[in-house]
Structures are given as structure tokens and as C-alpha cells.
Structure 1
Amino acid sequence: MPRAQLELSLSMKDLNERQFRGNKFSRSPSKDNRYGKKEQTEKPIKQKCIICTNQNTCQTVRTRTAQMRALIHQNKPHEVHFIYKTLTDEGHIPSLVTYTTLMTALTEERRFESIPKIMSQVEETGIKPDSIFFNAVINAFSEAGKINEAMSVFWKMKASGCKPTISTFNTLIKGYGIAGKPEDAQHVFDMMSPDNDVRPKIRTYNTLIKAWCDGKNLIEAWNVVEKMRASGFAPDIVTYNTIIGGYAKTGDTGKAERLMLEMQTRLQPDKRTWAIVISGYCKEGNMRDAFRCVQDMNEAGLYPNIVVFNTLIKGFLDAHDMAGVDEVLKLIRRFRVEPDVVTYSHQINAWSEIGMINKCMEVFENMLQAGIKPDYQVYSILAKAYARAQDPAKAESILQEMKENGIKPNVVTYTTVISGYCSATNMDDAIRVYMRMMEEGISPNIKTFHTLIWGYGEAKLPSKAEEILQIMQDSGVTPEKETYDLVACAWKSVGLQDEAERVLNSLNGSARASVGKNFEDPTEGEVLEGINGRYSGSKNKNLVRVPNSISVNRLEMDGRFFGVRLKCSVFCMNRWQARPQLYGRIRTSSKLISVN
């Protein structure tokens, strides 16, 4: 048996345990025992901080927390975790502000699977959350699309004596908009009326309008505008931009443009307004009107910025019209607008999708010559290009190049490299890259695990695919329906339909969501229930036994402040592919309208 497969469960679990814990002992490198399995030696870490253990916040914690906040402001949330880990490894106890900052960083990185772990840690420390922390948790769940859990935290916030703020309601309204539930967003808005201390502000109205527009219900959006006026708030540029964007989303960009012209009697369209209309035409494939709007924008005294030009480039690339892209690049030079990293990343991505690595590298070199430093997204696109070209070793070399250029690879980049090896059914190297990622202090997300499961399925190793379920639990990542679907597909690939059905039946038995009343305040003394049921703590008291020795825990989070339980999300991924998709021939451009 390959070494990577033999050591998979133990090694991954060991690394996962070290991610966020400041335990009494830290792990040192493992060694073989006489049975050929790995034993872990333990060594004591530094003594606990005396000030922190006396329920005070020491100066080190304050300083490191300030550094974490600064990194978020510098758009470097991925570096926050290193400071946090160093802080806990040195024996310090994070403050509530530290946890709130970490929650913000996780949300910025969209690492939502780590939210329950942070909530559990706050409970274990005995710190009582304040409204700022509750709002950060609600925002994280809202951004993750887990609005039922966000609403459950809202009720717990009220039960704990923390008064919801205007930010709380704005976030919940936004969350329901993200979840595609504008009716529920309206319900949250209506909940504010009886509360004299928290009244809707213009941002609240605009957030609700966006929820209706995202749901493509422009009639209700206009109704909110009327209520807004009746409350003494005049629609601002954000209001109009949101509704114009709503028309563009429904495929009626012509109406969006007419509204933009009508609004000029009250407000002057800004560059974002024009960019929304131009983007709408691009998405409709109407590049002629998109170009015309650039000309009209210029004549209105608003010079197109790089956002507008990048939108045009993306539109022509989506139409496979490279001649159109060249025309836009000429306009960028004519208007003396500086290209940015997005200008080049759009082009690199387009070439990568049709498997033209040489063109990818040509654009990449042009970017470097222009003095533009590539970001992690550009490197991720390059890694994806090599992975699609069945060259995972080249994809992995991107990781080293990133480090040499001072850019820390993130979970997306590592997962892309892993997918390259999985596509080649080289699971030894896929696991090696996974271990490397963990050693770098980067936590896997659910896509990472789905990639590994898919890879083991391709390699006809369904039992290994199923082992990933337990490893996910050890990492604090909750399997979803699609996770079980992938494992079932792995069993089907070797003709074991009964095993596939067993896996799917285990999902039905362990992840059945209970239905509660989302907007009803839980009564005193009752366990808090949300639409997805309870979730309680991280002590793994409740394990659902699955055949073949796979244990899927229920991700418990019982405690004083968070009496809700996360259930497996039930949205289905119809197909999970890691193979390149080739596009048709690239068309030449039609005649373009020149811009003076």
C-alpha cells in the first residue's frame, strides 16, 4: 500500500488538531512503531500567560489583535491566522476582540466552515459575547448562505441580553437577499417597526431593495422606494444603481439605461451607474450597445475607468472575440488608463479555459513587463491552466513561485494543485500537497475534501473516498449532501451499488433537518431551534455511526451563548468535474464603434 494512503487518516488528523488549539501539549514529528503505524511524541509548549489566566487581557494579546485588524484592512486576511496561532501557541488566551477579528478574517476569506469552531472556543473560555461579536457571527453565516443559522444566533443574541443594532438588521436583510429569500428579508425589515430604538435608515432600505432586485422582483423593489420616500428618505445614487442593476439582471438593460437617463433630473449618474449598464449589455452579448455606452459616458464628461474597460474585456472574452479585446486594449492606451491585475487575469483565464498555456504565459509576461505584480488569483488561474493541461507538477511549481514573490498560496491555489493530481489519479502526490498545505497553516475547505473524494473515486478507491468523511469531521468541516453523493459515486464506479445506497442512507439518517419557526422568538427555558434544528458544541459527544467505521459527528455546539446546531447543507451538486472544457473556435470581431 502506498505510504500516503497508509498514513492518511493519522497524519491528517494530527495536523488538523494543531490548527486552532492551544493545547497543553503540541505534537512533534511522528515515528514508526513496530506495527508500522505512526506514533506521536508530545512535548510541553510554553507556560500559559499568568495575566491571561487571571481573566485579564495582556498587552501581547492587545498588540497582536491590533496587528490582525491591520492585516484585514490591508486585504491580507490570510495572514491573520498565523498571528492568531502564534498567540495561542505562546500560551496567551485570546480576548473577545481577538475572536471577533478572527471571525471577520474567516468571513473575508469565505472560510465559513471554521465558524462553528470559533464559536465553540468562545464558549469554552467563558467569555460573554457582545453585540459586535454576535453581529460578526450573524454576518459570517449570512455570507455563507446559512441564513437560518444566522437567524438562530439573532434570537440567542436577544436572549442573552444583547440588544440588536441597526447593523444586525441590515446584515440579516442582506443575508436573506443572498439566500434568495426577499420575502423573509421584508419580514426582518418589518420586525424593526415596533422597536423604537432601532429604526430603518437609508442603508436599510437600500439593502432591502437589493434583496428584491436580486430576486428579480422590481415591483416590490419600487414599493420599498415609495415607503422610503414616505419615511422621509430620498432615494440616493445607491438606490438608483441598485434598481438599474436589477433591470440589468432581468435581461432588460435597455430599461436600465432609460432609467439612468431619467434619473438625471434628480441625480447625476456616476461611473458605477454606467458600468452597471455596460456590464448588463455585455452579459446579454450586446457588445455594440456596450461600446456605445462607453462613448456616451465619455461625452457626458465621465471618462471610462479601468473597471469599465475590464467589463468590456470580459464581455468580448465571453463572446470568444479576441479582436474585440484588442480594440479595448487600444482604448485603454488611448485614454491613458493604467491596466490593473484584473485586466490581465481576465485574459489569462480565457486562454486557460481553452487550453492555450502558451498564450496564458504570454499575457503573464506582458503583465510583468508592465510592472504589475500578480496576485494570488492570477497564480491560481495559472495553476488551474496547468492542471487542466494534465501537468500537475507544473501547477505545483506555481506554489513555490508565489512564495518567492512574497505571496502566500491560499486554499484555492492548493486545492487547484490537488485537483490536478486527482485528475491524473496520482493520489500519493495529491495527499502530499494536502499535507504541505496543512503544514503551512492553511485549513482545507469543503471543496478541498470534495476534490480528494472525487480523486479517490477516479482512482477506484472508494473506501479511501469514504475515509475523507471522518477527516472532514476532524477538520471541523461539515459534510454536505454533495459530499455523500461523491462518495456514493465512488462506490458506484467499482460496481458496488449496495455500498453507494448505504452511504446515501446514512445521509438520510444523520442529516435530516428539523423544521422550526424562523421568526418566532424561542420561549424562555426552551432549547433554541432554527429552521435547520439545533447545533450544540465541539466535544463530539454525539456521533452518528455509519457502516465501515466511518463516524460522522453532528458538529455540536451546546453552550451558554450558542444553543443552535448546524446541520448538513442540502444543496446538490449535479456534477463535480476537474477536466478541461474546451470552447469552440474564437470568432473575429464585428466592426466596432470608435470612441473619440
Structure 2
Amino acid sequence: MMFRGLSTKLLNICIASFCKVRLLEKAEAIIIDGVRLGVIPDVVTYNTLVSAYSRYVSLDAAYSVVHRMKEVGISPDVITYNSLIAGSTRDCLLSQSLDLFEEMLQAGIHPDVWSYNILMNCFFKLGKPDEANRVFQDILLSSLASHPATFNIMINGLCKNEYIDNALMLFRNLQRHGFVPQLVTYNILINGLCKARRLRQARTMLRELGESDLEPNAITYTTVMKCCFRSKQYDKGLDIMSEMKSKGYTFDSFAYCTIVAALVKTGRIEEANACMEQRR
């Protein structure tokens, strides 16, 4: 509905803008003003609020918005429930995530791939990789179109639960079936290998990334560089630092301190001083 140039679409843009900067009271006020002007909120309006409340306030506050939308005759959809499940996952509330998933099914709402992705991530966060794998298998066997994020969540979850070999096997198997890795996929694996102190494999993965159509970013280089320093392979770490600098990447404060310490330990005092001066 439109009134004096205003529309529900414009209303939703305004609400999304306020929610993005966590000004939820102003977002609510915009809805009230819009209704007074004859601009009626729709499911997108309420979904924006549900997402914001679940992210910034609480799951209970988000669920109260669901009650409000039902009261005005707007039915929740899969996006509504995905936001609620994501909120409970962030709070590591597995039982609530499962209850919401079941509630969605009971309401006749078909889960999409993101519903399963969120649930899979929840299981991994709670240290339940077997359950996460069952969800993953359900996705593969369903009629849902797989998404790169699904594979990245699975690989990341395996790495974080210290199943790095399983993550690598899955990665190679996916490649054989036509999966084209994203930069984030490589960064996940490189980070997992570094945390497992498997530096050689991390460097191999870095070389593989460099030989692909993708370009390593600051996160990639910094991850491997810090692992080199932790493993006391200072020269290799400094080589990566040089490559990183040659490509115009900068370092965070922790990386700078690590680099300076490595330079000092390898007797390169002047370079350490220059690095400190550059940081000032």
C-alpha cells in the first residue's frame, strides 16, 4: 500500500537501516508512523525485526514479534524461523533450535537449505559432529540445491571439532565431484591445519590456493605466518611476511608484535626497529 509517496518497500528499507545499527526502538517507531499513514507492514517488515531482536536482544524478544505478526494476520515463513533458529544457535540452545525446527514443520513450512545449514552449525557448536553429519547427509539426499556455504560449514565444523583429516577428505571428495572451493574454504582449511600444528600441509594448501584462480588475502597469509612463528620456523614466517607486504597487505597489532619478536630472535634487530617505527 502507498500513501503520499510512501510504500511498504520504503518502510522496510528504513526499518532495515535502523535495525542494522541496532536502533530497534526507532525501527518500531517507524512502523507505528507508517501504520498511521496507511502504510501496512508485511512479512518482510516483521522478519527484519525478528532477525534484529534475535541477534541483538534475545530469542524471547524475537519470538514476541512472531506473536505480533500472527495477531495482524501475517503468517511466519521459512525466513522467520531461520532467524529464530539462528538466534538460538548463537546462544547454543540446541533444544530450542530443534523445537523451532519442529514447530516450523508442524506449521507446514518447508525448510530450505539455510534451515539445515543453521541446524548443522548448531550441532557443531555444541560438539556434536555426528548429528551435524546426519543433517549434512539429509541435505545431500534431499531435493534442495546445495550451496557452497553448506560445504564450508561442514568443513569448518570438522576442523573446529578436531576432525581435520575428515575435513581434508571431504574437501578432496567434493573437488572430485565438481565443487569449486572459495577463498573462505581454503582459509578454513589452512586455519584448521595451523591450529593442528600441521604447518607443512598448511603451506601446501597455501601454494595450491596460489595456483588457483583465487588470490590469498591478509587472513590467509597472517594465519600461516603466525603458525610458522609458533613452530619456531622464523625464516619461513618472515618469507610469508615479505610476500604479504609485496602484495600491499597490512598487519594487525598482534601480527606486528609477532613479527618484531621473530626478527629479534633471528638477529635482525635493525629490521625489528624499522618495523616498530613503521607501526607508530
Measured against the shorter chain, the TM-score band is 0.7 to 0.9
Q: In 2, are the aligned partners of 1:278 and 1:290 still within 8 Å (CA)?
A: yes
Instruction: Identify the match of residue 39 of structure 2 among 287, 293, 302.
Output: 302
Taking structure 1 as reference, are residues 436 and 361 closer, same or farther at Cα in structure 2, changes over 3 Å only?
A: farther
TM-aligned CA deviation for residue 369 of structure 1: 1.6
Residue type of the alignment partner of 2:19: C
* CA deviation profile, 1:287-343 (whole Å, cap 9, x unmatched): 334333323322322221011001111222233233332321112112221222211
Taking structure 1 as reference, are residues 279 and 571 closer, same or farther at Cα in structure 2, changes over 3 Å only?
A: farther
Q: In 2, are the aligned partners of 1:410 and 1:442 still within 8 Å (CA)?
A: no
* CA deviation profile, 1:220-270 (whole Å, cap 9, x unmatched): xxxxxxxxxxxxxxxxxxxxxxxxxxxxxxxxxxxxxxxxxxxx7xx5111
Q: Secondary structure at the match of 2:207?
A: helix
RMSD: 2.3
Instruction: Identify the match of residue 408 of structure 1 among 124, 145, 150.
Output: 145
Q: Which residue number corresponds to residue 348 of structure 1? A: 85
Q: Distance in 1 between matches of 2:252 and 2:148?
A: 20
Q: Which residue number corresponds to residue 392 of structure 1? A: 129
1:505 and 2:234 equivalent? Answer: no
1:280 and 2:17 equivalent? Answer: yes
Q: Distance in 1 between matches of 2:128 and 2:190?
A: 20
Q: In 2, are the aligned partners of 1:465 and 1:490 still within 8 Å (CA)?
A: no
* CA deviation profile, 1:98-144 (whole Å, cap 9, x unmatched): xxxxxxxxxxxxxxxxxxxxxxxxxxxxxxxxxxxxxxxxxxxxxxx
Superposition pairs of residues 32-111 of structure 1, within 5 angstroms:
none
Q: Distance in 2 between matches of 1:398 and 1:273?
A: 38
Q: In 2, are the aligned partners of 1:453 and 1:465 still within 8 Å (CA)?
A: yes
Q: Which residue number corresponds to residue 183 of structure 2? A: 446
Instruction: Identify the match of residue 154 of structure 2 among 417, 426, 430.
Output: 417
* CA deviation profile, 1:47-77 (whole Å, cap 9, x unmatched): xxxxxxxxxxxxxxxxxxxxxxxxxxxxxxx
Superposition pairs of residues 239-254 of structure 1, within 5 angstroms:
none
Residue type of the alignment partner of 1:300: L
Superposition pairs of residues 63-212 of structure 1, within 5 angstroms:
none
1:494 and 2:219 equivalent? Answer: no
TM-aligned CA deviation for residue 284 of structure 1: 4.4
Residue type of the alignment partner of 2:116: Y
Q: Distance in 2 between matches of 1:288 and 1:507?
A: 44
Taking structure 1 as reference, are residues 402 and 332 closer, same or farther at Cα in structure 2, changes over 3 Å only?
A: same
Q: In 2, are the aligned partners of 1:425 and 1:458 still within 8 Å (CA)?
A: no
Q: Secondary structure at the match of 1:486?
A: helix
- Matched residues, number: 252
Q: In 2, are the aligned partners of 1:454 and 1:490 still within 8 Å (CA)?
A: no
Higher alpha-carbon Rg = 1
Q: In 1, are the aligned partners of 2:6 and 2:39 still within 8 Å (CA)?
A: no
Q: Secondary structure at the match of 1:463?
A: helix
Q: Distance in 1 between matches of 2:72 and 2:80?
A: 15
Q: Secondary structure at the match of 2:157?
A: helix
1:338 and 2:70 equivalent? Answer: no
* CA deviation profile, 1:454-474 (whole Å, cap 9, x unmatched): 011111111110000222244
Which 5+ residue runs of structure 2 have no aligned equivalent?
255-280
Q: Which residue number corresponds to residue 361 of structure 1? A: 98
Q: Which residue number corresponds to residue 426 of structure 1? A: 163
TM-aligned CA deviation for residue 362 of structure 1: 1.2
Which 5+ residue runs of structure 1 have no aligned equivalent?
1-263, 513-569, 576-596
Q: In 2, are the aligned partners of 1:332 and 1:339 still within 8 Å (CA)?
A: yes
TM-aligned CA deviation for residue 451 of structure 1: 0.7
Q: Secondary structure at the match of 1:477?
A: coil
Q: In 1, are the aligned partners of 2:59 and 2:84 still within 8 Å (CA)?
A: no
Q: In 1, are the aligned partners of 2:53 and 2:59 still within 8 Å (CA)?
A: yes
Q: Distance in 2 between matches of 1:385 and 1:574?
A: 32
TM-aligned CA deviation for residue 279 of structure 1: 2.8
Identity of aligned residues (%): 22
1:469 and 2:209 equivalent? Answer: no
Q: Higher helix fraction: Structure 1 or Structure 2?
A: 2
Taking structure 1 as reference, are residues 418 and 323 closer, same or farther at Cα in structure 2, changes over 3 Å only?
A: closer
Q: In 2, are the aligned partners of 1:383 and 1:396 still within 8 Å (CA)?
A: yes
TM-aligned CA deviation for residue 368 of structure 1: 1.5
Q: Which residue number corresponds to residue 129 of structure 1? A: none
Q: Distance in 2 between matches of 1:574 and 1:372?
A: 47
Q: Distance in 2 between matches of 1:329 and 1:573?
A: 42
Q: In 2, are the aligned partners of 1:456 and 1:490 still within 8 Å (CA)?
A: no
Q: In 2, are the aligned partners of 1:453 and 1:486 still within 8 Å (CA)?
A: yes
TM-aligned CA deviation for residue 392 of structure 1: 2.7
* CA deviation profile, 1:202-224 (whole Å, cap 9, x unmatched): xxxxxxxxxxxxxxxxxxxxxxx
Q: Distance in 2 between matches of 1:476 and 1:285?
A: 38
Which of structures 1 and 2 has the larger relative contact order (alpha carbons within 8 angstroms, sep 6+)?
1
Instruction: Identify the match of residue 110 of structure 2 among 355, 373, 395.
Output: 373
Q: Which residue number corresponds to residue 145 of structure 1? A: none
Q: Which residue number corresponds to residue 275 of structure 2? A: none
Taking structure 1 as reference, are residues 368 and 404 closer, same or farther at Cα in structure 2, changes over 3 Å only?
A: farther
